[in-house]
Amino acid sequence: MIHLPQLDAHVARFPDPDTALREPNGLLAIGGDLSPERLLAAYAQGIFPWFGPDEPLLWWSPDPRCVFRTETLRADRSLRRQWRGKHWRLTVDRAFRTVMEACAAPRHGEPGTWIVPEMIDAYCRLHVLGHAHSVEAWDGERLIGGVYGVAIGKLFCGESMFSAVSGGSKTALMGLATLLRALGCPLLDSQVANTHTLRLGAVEIPRATYLHEAARLAALPGRVGSWARYASQLAPPDAAHR
């Protein structure tokens, strides 16, 4: 039987991530809430919520941790070729809730979603407060891909992405990487590795390394508020090759 620390409903404190379980990897605590204060405290300490529709609120800090280095996260030749000749464009913070809802939609071959309605509402509250952001890829007025996450200081914690057409999510991710580089954010947290993120260039690092880097970056001055004003920093994937 698994015994987990129960979080105080009124205080946004967490156990030391080093006390997280090895199996399931990174499970740290149960309970609490999804208030902005608790979510921001969690991400600053390398912790994130992850639970299914019929599960209690669970908090995680896995070891190893999957991350992207924004300096090396750049569009490959196939994406640049795909972009050319299309009427695609990128925006930031234009359709945050829509991106989350698209990420929550059922996907082929997957049993369900962890992006439950209360998660959508919680992250939309963070978005209104200027701590959560999205990058959207469009074909005309059709949303074809997107990615969203939480920014604390110079740390960006990616949550999920979706693609309605081939290359949609990848285009949004590369746009996000361009924006993060411009804003001085060197690290994009991807939480747990999968074949897709590893293929895109993510790497796994020890949890201790991640916690050290995350704490340092989260303590730096960040850009709170809508990032729509930084839309000019978004460059199409082939911009450097024109």
Q: Is 136 in contact with 99 (CB distance < 8 Å)?
A: yes
Nearest-5° angle of CA 222, CA 119, CA 32? Answer: 85
Q: Mean of the pLDDT values across residues 196-208?
A: 95
Q: Mean of the pLDDT values across residues 84-108?
A: 90
- State which CATH number among 3.40.630.70, 2.40.30.10, 3.40.50.170, 3.60.90.10 fits the domain covering 66-241: 3.40.630.70
- Rounded Cα distance between 156 and 68, Å, is 10
pLDDT of residue 197: 92
Task: Say how many CA atoms lie within 13 Å of 141 toward its Cβ.
Answer: 0
Model confidence pLDDT, tens digit, residues 103-122: 999 876 665 678 999 999 99
The one-letter amino acid code at 186 reads: P
Tokens of 117: 């309605």
Model confidence pLDDT, tens digit, residues 108-158: 666 567 899 999 999 999 999 999 999 999 999 999 999 999 999 999 999
pLDDT of residue 240: 46
**Mean residue pLDDT across the chain:** 92
pLDDT of residue 242: 43
pLDDT of residue 113: 76
Which residue did the predictor score with more confidence, 50 or 238? 50
- Rounded Cα distance between 230 and 90, Å, is 12
- Rounded Cα distance between 157 and 159, Å, is 6
Tokens of 75: 């569009």
Q: Mean of the pLDDT values across residues 61-76?
A: 91
Domain boundary assignment for the chain: 6-62, 66-241
Q: Is pLDDT above 80 for 23?
A: yes
- Rounded Cα distance between 124 and 221, Å, is 22
CATH of the domain spanning 6-62: 3.30.70.3550
**Virtual torsion, Cα 219, 222, 226, 230, nearest 10 deg:** -150
Q: Mean of the pLDDT values across residues 212-239?
A: 89
DSSP string, 30-41: EE----HHHHHH
- Rounded Cα distance between 203 and 51, Å, is 24
C-alpha radius of gyration, the chain, whole number: 17
pLDDT of residue 234: 81
